[in-house]
Amino acid sequence: MAHLLREQGFNAFVIVGGLGAWRKAGQPVEIVPENDLVHLPTFARKVALRVRQAGR
C-alpha cells in the first residue's frame, strides 16, 4: 500500500509493528464509533426481528 501511494506522489510511511506496537507503547487508541461499523448479518438479529414482529 505504502509503495503504491508513494508511486502516486504521496509522502507515505509505514508504522513498524502496526496497531500492536502502538498499543504496547501505551499510545492512545479509540473504540471505532458506531457509524463507522459495518453491520454484518447475524442470526440473532433475525430472531430479534421475529420477536418484535410477534409482539405487535
Partner 1 sequence: MSDLLSLIAHHGYVIIFVVVFVEAVGLPAPAALALIAGGAAAASGALRVPEVAVLAVMGMLIGDSLLYVLGSYTGWSLLGFLCKVSVNPETCILRSAESFYKRGRAALVFAKFIPGVNTMSPPLAGSMKMPFLQFLGLDLIGACLYASAYGGVGFVAHGFVLAIVRDFQEAGRAVEIVVVLAIVGYIGYRISLYWKHRVYRVVPRVRVPELARKLQSEESGKILLVDVRSHGYYDPGAARIRGSIRIEPNNLSEEIAKLPRDRDIYLYCT
Interface with partner 1 (CB under 8 A): 1-6, 8-25, 27-32, 34, 36-45, 47
CA–CA distance, 55 with 46 (Å, rounded to integer)? 14
Closer of 14 and 54 to partner 1 (Cβ)? 14
Q: Which residue number, 27 or 53, has a Cβ lying nearer to partner 1?
A: 27
How far is 23 from 4, CA to CA, in rounded Å? 27
State the cell numbers at 20. Answer: 500492536
Cβ nearer to partner 1, comparing 29 with 55:
29
Residues 52, 28: Cα–Cα separation, whole Å: 40
Give least dist CB 56 to partner 1, A: 23
